[in-house]
Amino acid sequence: MQALKSIVERAFEERFGSEAQLFASPGRINLIGEHTDYNGGFVFPGAVDKGVVAAIRPNSENEVRIVALDLNEECRFGLEESDKPEASWAHYIFGVCREIQKRGYTIGGFEAVFSGNVPLGAGMSSSAALESVFAFALNELFACGIDRFELARIGQSTEHNYCGVKCGIMDQFASVFGKAGCLMRLDCRSMEFEYYPFDPAAHGYRLVLVNSCVKHQLTGSPYNDRRLSCEKVAQALGREFLRGATMAELEALGNTISEEDYKRAYYVIGEEQRVLTVCEALKNNDYETVGRCMYETHWGMSKDYEVSCEELDFLATVAQKCGVTGSRIMGGGFGGCTINLVKEELYDAFITQAQERFKARYGHEVAIYEVVISEGSHRM
C-alpha cells in the first residue's frame, strides 16, 4: 500500500497545508467459515495487501473534516450524537468516533484524507478496513490505550449502530490483527485465536479471487433475517449460540422449527466443523481436503443458507470443471467474489475459462485478484 501512502500524503498537504501521520488497515479474505462468527463459532481469515490508508492530524477544534479521495467528496461533522452526517460513507468514521467516546475515552477533532484499493463489493471488507484504520489511528493519536480486541469491537459496533448491518467480529478482527504469511483461527465465542502459517505457493498452489462484479442486496433484511433464524434455533436448543450444537440435536427439534430455520442452522453447524477440519488439514499440508471443504461451504451457502446468486454458482461450477482444488463464495454473499485454491499448472487455463465463459454468459468481465497475506492495522 506504499503507492496509496504517497497519494494520500500529498493530497493531505494540498488540502490542509501541513504534514499528517499515516496509518493503514487491510481488507481480508476468509479461507473458510462464513456466517459462523455471529453464531459464536470459528472463522479462518487473513489480512491482504489491499486496504485503506489515512493521513490524519488532530486539530484544536471539536470538528472532524474528512476528504474521501476515491469519491472526491468532503464531509464535516461534530462529535455529538446529533452531528451524524448525511453522507453514508462518513457514517463509518462518525460511528468509530462515537463508539470510542461511548467507551469513556476522549478524542478531539481532526482532519483526515483517506483512500483505499480494496475492491468494493468483492467481499473483502472495505468497510472494516475503513473502520479499523480510523479506530487504530484515533487510539494512537489521542493516547486512549485501547487494546486491539476492543478496536475490533468498536468497528463492529459501528456497523451495528450506524450502518445498519448486524455483522460479526471477523472482518474487523482480521483487519486489526492480520499477520503476514499467516491465517488466523478465531474462536468468536471466547475470542481466543491462533496464527496458522499459510504458504500455498510452497506446495504448488495459488490463491486467487474471481470477482463476479455483481452485488445484490445485503444490508438490512437478507443478512439480518438469516441471523434471526440462527438465533431462533439456538434458543430452541437452549443455547446462546449455535456454536457446539450437533446435527443430532438439530434433527431432534423436528417440526418445532420452520424448514427455513432448519436449513440455516444445518449450514452453520456443518460450517463450524469444516473450519476445524481445514485447520487440521493445513497442519498436514493436505490441500485436497481444504479444497473439498471449500466446495462444501459454497454449495451449503447456495442451497441451505441461500446467500449465493446465479453468477457465483456459475463461477464455482466452472472451477469444478477446470479441476480447481477448491472454490467457494467469499464474504456475506449475494454477489462479490469466489475464492479459489488452484494448482499452479491449472491456473492459467482456469483464469482463461472463468473470464471467457463468464463474459459469454453474463456480458461483462470478471476481475482477478491474487491474494498476498499481509499485516494488520499499523502506522506507516
Q: How far is CA 142 from CA 138, 157, 176, 192, 373, in A?
A: 6, 20, 18, 28, 30
Give the model confidence (pLDDT) of 271-280 as tens digits. 999 999 999 9
Do 264 and 179 fall into the same domain?
Answer: no
Q: Which of 40, 24, 6, 14 is nearest to 234 (CA)?
A: 40
Question: Residue 331 — pLDDT band, cuts 50, 70, 90?
Answer: confident
Give the model confidence (pLDDT) of 96-109 as tens digits. 999 999 999 999 99
Residue 217: predicted pLDDT: 57
Do 186 and 214 fall into the same domain?
Answer: no
Question: Residue 334 — pLDDT band, cuts 50, 70, 90?
Answer: confident
Domain span including residue 147: 2-195
Residue 317: predicted pLDDT: 98
Do 322 and 279 fall into the same domain?
Answer: yes
Residue 329's DSSP bridge partners are 338
Q: Which of 199, 167, 187 is nearest to 331 (CA)?
A: 167
Answer whether residue 221 shows pLDDT above 80. Answer: no
Percent of the chain with pLDDT over 70: 98
Residue 372: partners with Cβ closer than 8 Å, 6 or more residues away: 48, 49
Residue 145: predicted pLDDT: 98
From 162, 195, 228, the end of a domain falls on 195
- Interatomic CA distance for residues 50 and 157, integer angstroms: 23
Q: What is the Cα Rg of the chain in Å?
A: 21
Do 156 and 126 fall into the same domain?
Answer: yes
Residues forming the active site: 171
Question: Residue 313 — pLDDT band, cuts 50, 70, 90?
Answer: very high
Percent of the chain with pLDDT over 90: 84
**End-to-end alpha-carbon separation of the chain, Å?**
10
Q: Is residue 327 domain-resident?
A: yes
Residue 41: predicted pLDDT: 93
Task: Report the pLDDT averaged over residues 183-196.
Answer: 93
Residue 340's DSSP bridge partners are 208, 327
Q: Is residue 130 domain-resident?
A: yes
C-alpha cell at position 374: 499481509
Residue 333: predicted pLDDT: 77
Q: What does the mean pLDDT of the chain come to?
A: 94
Residue 252: predicted pLDDT: 97
Q: Is residue 379 domain-resident?
A: no
What's 130's domain CATH number? 3.30.230.10
From 177, 195, 213, the end of a domain falls on 195
Question: Residue 220 — pLDDT band, cuts 50, 70, 90?
Answer: low
Question: Residue 342 — pLDDT band, cuts 50, 70, 90?
Answer: very high
- Interatomic CA distance for residues 35 and 31, integer angstroms: 13
Helix (H, G, I), strand (E, B) or coil at 75: strand
Identify the helix (H) or strand (E) that includes residue 372.
Answer: none
DSSP 345: G
Beta carbons of 209 and 338 less than 8 angstroms apart:
yes
What's 305's domain CATH number? 3.30.70.890
Helix (H, G, I), strand (E, B) or coil at 46: strand
Residue 197: predicted pLDDT: 87
Do 265 and 353 fall into the same domain?
Answer: yes
Beta carbons of 112 and 148 less than 8 angstroms apart:
no
- ∠ Cα 348 354 357 (to 5°): 130
Q: Is residue 249 domain-resident?
A: yes
* Number of helical H runs and strand E runs in the chain: 11, 13
Give the model confidence (pLDDT) of 167-182 as tens digits. 778 899 999 999 998 9
Give the model confidence (pLDDT) of 105-145 as tens digits. 999 999 999 999 987 766 788 999 999 999 999 999 999 99
Answer whether residue 235 shows pLDDT above 90. Answer: yes
